[in-house]
C-alpha cells in the first residue's frame, strides 16, 4: 500500500493534508502533533499505531507527517517527508510562518496526492541511499500503544474520540447530582436547626411571660417553695 496520508503543520496548526484512503489518520496525526510540541524543533520520529507507522520530521518550525504501512520501512517515508518539506517551503516561502489553518490546503493537497503516489510506486533510490545512514542513527521509534501504558494517554481511534465524550458527559451529570444532593442535605440541616431554635425561642418567651421575667424567677420560686413545704410537715 505504501504511503497513505500526508500532512504539513506549523505547531498545532494544520496547513495542508491529504489522505489516499478513509482512515482515522487525521485524528491520530493531531494527537501526535500535540505530543510533539514538547520535542525540540528539529527532529525525526516514528510512531507505531498498528497496522500503520506514522513518521514525523520537524524542521525550522514546520512539521511534516505521513502515515505508511509497516512494509514501507523507514527510508521511503522519510524521503517523502524531506521532499514535501522542500516543495512546501519553496512554494509558499515566508508565508508558512503566519498562514492560518488550511490556508495552503487547496493548492498543496494536490502536491501531497501526487507525491504520495510517486513515493509509493517509484521512490528515488539515490535519495533513499543518502538518507539511509541518517535514518538508522536518528529515528526514534516510539510505540503509541506502549505510551498508553506509560500514562501518556492518547485516544487513537475515531470511535474513541467520539464515544469518549459520552462517558465524560455521564460523569459530569453524576458529579452534578451528587453536588446537588449535598447542597440539599446541607439546606435541610440548616432549616431544621432554624426551626428548632425558633421553637425553643417560643417556649422561652412563653415561660418568660408566665414566670414574670426573663430569668423565670417566679417559676423558680414556686418550684423552690413546692420542694420546701413537704419537709415542713
Give the rounded percent of residues in the chain with a pLDDT score beyond 90: 30
- Contact call for residues 96 and 3 (beta carbons, < 8 A): no
Give the residue from 170, 197, 216 where a domain finishes: 170
Say whether both 20 and 119 belong to one domain.
yes
Q: Does 21 or 134 have the greater pLDDT score? A: 21
Segments forming the whole domain that contains residue 11: 3-170
- Kindly report the pTM of this predicted structure: 0.56
Say whether both 153 and 215 belong to one domain.
no
Give the rounded percent of residues in the chain with a pLDDT score beyond 70: 65
- Contact call for residues 66 and 77 (beta carbons, < 8 A): yes
Nearest CA among 18, 15, 38 for reference residue 98: 15
Mean local confidence (pLDDT), 201-205: 80
Give the residue from 170, 191, 206 where a domain finishes: 170
Nearest CA among 173, 174, 154 for reference residue 164: 154
Say whether both 113 and 7 belong to one domain.
yes
- Contact call for residues 69 and 4 (beta carbons, < 8 A): yes
Say whether both 66 and 165 belong to one domain.
yes
pLDDT band, very low/low/confident/very high, at 44 (cuts 50, 70, 90)? confident
Q: Between the CA of residue 210 and those of 5, 69, 199, 225, what are the distances in Å?
A: 93, 96, 17, 17
Res 72: pLDDT: 83
Say whether both 163 and 107 belong to one domain.
yes
Nearest CA among 44, 29, 67 for reference residue 156: 29
Say whether both 146 and 193 belong to one domain.
no
Give the residue from 141, 170, 199 where a domain finishes: 170
- Contact call for residues 53 and 69 (beta carbons, < 8 A): yes
Res 226: pLDDT: 55
Which residues, other chains included, contact 60 with Cβ-Cβ below 8 Å and sequence gap of 6+? Answer: 41, 42
Say whether both 217 and 125 belong to one domain.
no
Length of the chain: 233
Say whether both 165 and 204 belong to one domain.
no
Domain count, the chain: 2
In a domain, residue 122? The reply is: yes
- Quick: pLDDT tens for 83-125: 999 999 999 999 998 999 999 999 999 999 999 998 888 655 4
Amino acid at each position: 500500500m505504501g504511503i497513505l496520508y500526508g500532512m504539513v503543520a506549523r505547531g498545532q496548526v494544520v496547513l495542508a493534508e491529504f489522505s489516499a484512503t478513509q482512515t482515522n489518520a487525521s485524528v491520530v496525526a493531531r494527537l501526535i502533533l500535540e505530543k510533539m510540541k514538547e520535542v525540540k524543533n528539529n527532529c525525526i520520529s516514528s510512531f507505531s499505531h498498528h497496522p500503520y507507522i506514522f513518521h514525523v520530521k520537524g524542521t525550522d518550525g514546520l512539521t511534516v507527517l505521513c502515515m505508511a504501512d509497516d512494509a514501507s520501512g523507514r527510508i521511503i517515508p522519510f524521503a517523502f517527508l524531506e521532499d514535501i518539506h522542500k516543495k512546501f517551503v519553496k512554494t509558499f516561502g515566508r508565508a508558512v510562518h503566519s498562514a492560518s489553518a488550511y490556508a495552503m490546503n487547496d493548492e498543496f493537497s494536490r502536491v501531497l496526492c501526487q507525491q504520495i503516489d510517486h513515493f509509493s510506486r517509484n521512490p528515488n533510490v539515490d535519495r533513499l541511499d543518502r538518507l539511509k545512514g541518517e535514518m538508522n542513527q536518528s529515528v526514534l521509534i516510539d510505540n503509541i500503544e506502549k505510551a498508553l501504558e506509560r500514562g501518556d494517554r492518547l485516544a487513537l481511534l475515531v470511535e474513541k474520540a467520539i464515544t469518549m465524550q459520552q462517558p465524560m458527559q455521564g460523569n459530569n451529570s453524576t458529579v452534578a447530582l451528587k453536588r446537588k444532593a449535598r447542597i440539599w442535605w446541607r439546606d435541610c440541616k440548616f432549616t431544621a436547626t432554624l426551626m428548632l431554635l425558633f421553637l425553643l425561642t417560643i417556649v422561652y418567651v412563653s415561660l418568660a411571660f408566665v414566670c414574670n421575667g426573663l430569668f423565670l424567677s417566679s417559676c423558680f420560686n414556686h418550684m423552690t417553695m413546692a420542694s420546701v413545704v413537704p419537709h415542713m410537715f
